[in-house]
Amino acid sequence: MGVVRSELDPPRGQVVEGSSEVPSAPRAMRADAVKNHEKILRAAEEIFALDGVKVPIDVVAERAGVGVGTLYRHFPTKESLYEAIVMTRLTSLLETANRLIRDVEPGRALDSFLREFARQAAEKQDLFDAMDQAGFDFKSRFSDRVDELVDRVDVLRQRAVASGAVRADVETSDILNLVMGTCHAASHGGVDKSALQRLVTIVITGIQPTPER
């Protein structure tokens, strides 16, 4: 829940010197282990982005140039590896949201975020899969991080509403569902980058205040 420290940080097995812990200090990882750990992460990031959760674990291992046994020693579960990758994606998105909240005028910030969100989700199949499963209400291993993200989007939305760029009766989940929908189209082929942006534009237009009517 709280601290996430997944296997994403440069792996180490060392305990801080002088730790008051039990003196059975776990040794540092062997050099080859560290190298493999990184190879696995790189391979996973590439393949998951391309093929999503569905890709068999052997394929990841092969691409990493490593046996499945090795992969499983580094990540006890396929899901744990998947989770490690998705977490970085979500974190990155979160940073984007925060940056936009901080630096960009409210009217444009939401727009920019949604476009970036769509771009990412369309580009990284795994991200899409994750949010697909997680829904925006659903429980999942990512739900905490997803909640944070939804919270940030809510801030973006509120500001956009306040600045008159978005109608007040639109809910955050509506926006996310709609944009996820565009990604959905993108991740199943048949929608290139420009078409994707066109779809997002339609959504954004749809949530703007309507002058007349």
Q: Closest approach of Cβ 51 to DNA, in Å?
A: 11
Q: Of the candidates 7, 46, 123, 132, which one interacts with a second copy according to CB under 8 A?
A: 132
C-alpha distance from residue 44 to each of 62, 84, 95, 128, 183 (Å): 10, 10, 22, 15, 21
192 binds DNA (CB under 7 A): no
189 binds DNA (CB under 7 A): no
d(CA 194, CA 78): 34
Find which of a second copy, DNA, none residue 78 binds, CB within 5 to 8 Å per kind.
Answer: DNA
66 binds DNA (CB under 7 A): yes
Asked if 67 and 81 touch (Cβ cutoff 8 Å), the reply is: no
# residues contacting a second copy (CB under 8 A):
34
Which span sits near DNA by CB under 7 A: 27-35, 124-132, 155-163, 182-190?
27-35
Here the tokens at position 195 are: 């078409």
- Residues near 44 by Cβ (< 8 Å), separated by ≥ 6? 60, 64, 81, 82, 84, 85
Q: Closest approach of Cβ 129 to a second copy, in Å?
A: 12
- Residues near 205 by Cβ (< 8 Å), separated by ≥ 6? none
12 binds DNA (CB under 7 A): no
**Per-residue string for binding with DNA, 74-93, x by CB under 7 A?**
x-xxxx--------------
Interaction residues for a second copy, span 134-153 (CB under 8 A)? 135-138
Name the nearest CA neighbour of 143 among 83, 184, 80. 83
CB atoms within 10 A of CB 158: 15
Asked if 39 and 66 touch (Cβ cutoff 8 Å), the reply is: yes
Residues in contact with a second copy by CB under 8 A are 132-133, 135-138, 170-171, 173-174, 177-178, 180-182, 184-185, 188-191, 195, 198-199, 201-207, 210-212
